[in-house]
Amino acid sequence: MQALQELRDRMAELSDLGAVQMLAGWDQLVMMPADGASSRAHQLGTLARLAHERSTGAEMGEWLEQIDAQAAGLDELDRDLVRVARRDWERARRVPDELAVERARAEADGQESWQLARASDDFAAFAPALERNVELARAYGECVAQDGESRYEGLLSDFDFGLRTQELRRVFSALARELPPLAAEASVVLPPRTLEVPVAAQQAAVAGTLRRLGVDDASWRVDVSTHPFTAWVGTGDSRVTTRYSDGDVESLLSSLHEYGHALYERQVDTALDRTNLGTGTSMSIHESQSKLWENHVARSPAFAEVLAAELGAGGFTVPAAHLHATLVGVEPSLVRVSADPLTYPLHIVVRFELELAMIEGDLAVADLPAAWREQMRRLLGVEVPSDALGCLQDVHWGAGAFGYFPSYALGCLIAAQLWEAMEAELGPREDELRRGEVAPIQRWLGEHVHRFGRRLDTTALVEHASGRPLEIEPFLRYVAPLAGG
């Protein structure tokens, strides 16, 4: 079928362009000399424009129509390929070029404005750029929403296709009810501890730990960047970054977190290579994979023995129990990215409620700082001393990314749910984790989650892998021991 081949060729091309964008982005943050920034902006702009043109071309509509006429002859994989291609094409076509251009500009301006405003703790300086991004996000959400979806649901579907606001309200209000009392108990039972680990020992431990998980020079890179991230540049080319500072052991957690993202992409069925189905399915599933390795492996008492041994090999001696306590200590705090595993989702609930209100028109940008303080007081019991440590701490809204934050909390919940499903099948992981044996975990995730790529959306994948709809109970059971439960 000629049209199907044309469609597959286009998908392969878009997959290659995506990989090159990922490479150029990785290089910008890890390797590029600073003065290359302006050329790189041009290059990334050109790649994005080309990818947009090639993914919205009218010829795609013709191919899809021709394929429709012969749809009965498609095998299961091609049916999924065509289904997702149509969905992506129709969504992209609903966005007028001018809106896409204006959004891109507002997002670039917003990030710049945010950076300056945060540095000078000056929300008023950021407010106009944020207002513009809210306005354009509302317009965009209205464009892509369909079948009675709200404009917020339109935005959500860019990151997690099919998620419903009502479902988020249900889950997040349950978290808002259950977590604060647990946090209060946990901060007494397991208060945070600091551990001054020299950077050299952290580097040795990160390298040694990742090596145990299969990270080899033949198909991985491990580098340093300002903010940890993962790039999947190709089959057999996974790149994670971390960062080091003497004052903490964040590198141990963040390297396992990024490993989880990378492993997901590596274990997608190779039959989906260079198709539109060959990547992770959604932000929340991606985040579930990173959180699974961060929360359920790196933060487990058993794996603390491995981490302590690797630190020891790097010349720093610490008892495993002490290291574990450092990695899980609970204290309600101001900053999302350094939050403990128990209170972390509450930071997301704050953001979800506020961004939903901004998009629905119930919260004016000017009122955001006060609303943020109020929410932090209510959910985390902390007083916000400045907007820099408050509503200016994250880049997302300035970069126009509304509907992105929920995936961080959903990732925590899904990770816990998958972990329970896996242990129900394989038995408790404790003994094996103590010896650093993770191959059965890798295999189970590959089989039940990773291999599907984009063939299953978030909700369907969670049900398929765990046999149950999304629930908060597994996460509550995961954090209960931190609160002495």
**98 in catalytic set:** no
CA-nearest of 260, 267, 247 to 209 is 260
| Structure token pair of residue 120 | 């000078």
Is there binding between residue 5 and its own copies (CB under 8 A)? no
Is there binding between residue 45 and its own copies (CB under 8 A)? yes
Is there binding between residue 96 and its own copies (CB under 8 A)? no
Kindly indicate which of the ranges 46-54, 56-64, 160-168, 257-265 contains the residues binding its own copies, using the contact rule CB under 8 A: 46-54
Is there binding between residue 43 and its own copies (CB under 8 A)? yes
* CA 214 – CA 345 distance, rounded (Å): 30
How many chain residues touch its own copies (CB under 8 A)? 38
CB of 193 to its own copies, least distance (A): 37
Is there binding between residue 98 and its own copies (CB under 8 A)? no
Is there binding between residue 210 and its own copies (CB under 8 A)? no
Strands 230-234 and 220-224 come out as unpaired
Is there binding between residue 101 and its own copies (CB under 8 A)? no
Report the interhelical angle of 344-360 vs 406-426 (nearest 10°).
140
Is there binding between residue 138 and its own copies (CB under 8 A)? no
Q: Which is nearer to its own copies, 54 or 83 (CB)?
A: 54
Of the residues 6, 25, 29, 32, which one makes contact with its own copies according to CB under 8 A: 32
Of the residues 23, 64, 92, 95, which one makes contact with its own copies according to CB under 8 A: 23
Return the number of other C-beta atoms located less than 10 Å from residue 395's C-beta.
14
> What long-range pairs does 84-92 form, CB within 8 A, spacing at least 24?
84/276, 84/277, 84/454, 84/455, 85/7, 85/11, 85/60, 85/276, 87/161, 88/55, 88/276, 89/55, 89/56, 89/60, 89/61, 89/64, 91/144, 91/157, 92/52, 92/55, 92/56
Is there binding between residue 58 and its own copies (CB under 8 A)? no
Is there binding between residue 20 and its own copies (CB under 8 A)? yes
Of the residues 1, 6, 17, 331, which one makes contact with its own copies according to CB under 8 A: 17
Q: Which is nearer to its own copies, 107 or 387 (CB)?
A: 107
Is there binding between residue 19 and its own copies (CB under 8 A)? yes
Torsion over CA of 347, 349, 352 and 353, rounded to 10 degrees?
A: -120
Of the residues 89, 140, 172, 220, which one makes contact with its own copies according to CB under 8 A: 220
245-284 footprint of its own copies as x/- string (CB under 8 A): -----------------------------x----------
Is there binding between residue 12 and its own copies (CB under 8 A)? yes
Kindly indicate which of the ranges 20-28, 122-130, 292-300, 372-380 contains the residues binding its own copies, using the contact rule CB under 8 A: 20-28
* CA 143 – CA 91 distance, rounded (Å): 8
Q: One of 107, 149, 258, 265 is an active-site residue; which one?
A: 258
Interior/surface letters 283-302, b for 16+ CB within 10 angstroms, e for the rest: bbbbbbbbbbbbbbbbbbbb
Is there binding between residue 235 and its own copies (CB under 8 A)? yes
* CA 33 – CA 371 distance, rounded (Å): 40
Residue 444: burial class (beta carbons within 10 Å; 0-12, 13-18, 19+): buried
Sheet holding 220-224, edge to edge: 220-224, 237-242, 230-234
Of the residues 234, 301, 381, 440, which one makes contact with its own copies according to CB under 8 A: 234
CB of 26 to its own copies, least distance (A): 9
Residue 237, beta-bridge partner list:
234
Return the number of other C-beta atoms located less than 10 Å from residue 67's C-beta.
23
For residues 359 and 152, is the Cβ–Cβ distance under 8 A? yes
Q: Which is nearer to its own copies, 265 or 355 (CB)?
A: 265
Of the residues 6, 25, 27, 109, which one makes contact with its own copies according to CB under 8 A: 27
Q: Which is nearer to its own copies, 50 or 325 (CB)?
A: 50
Q: Per CB under 8 A, which of residues 369..408 are in contact with its own copies?
A: none
Is there binding between residue 39 and its own copies (CB under 8 A)? yes
Q: Which is nearer to its own copies, 75 or 217 (CB)?
A: 217
User: For residue 442, what are the contacts with CB-CB under 8 A and spacing of at least 6?
Assistant: 213, 214, 263, 267
CB of 307 to its own copies, least distance (A): 25
CB of 378 to its own copies, least distance (A): 42
* CA 394 – CA 56 distance, rounded (Å): 31
Helix (H, G, I), strand (E, B) or coil at 240: strand
What are the residue numbers of the active site?
Answer: 258
Which residues of this protein are in contact with its own copies, per CB under 8 A?
12-13, 16-17, 19-20, 23-24, 27, 31-40, 42-43, 45-47, 49-50, 217-221, 233-238, 274
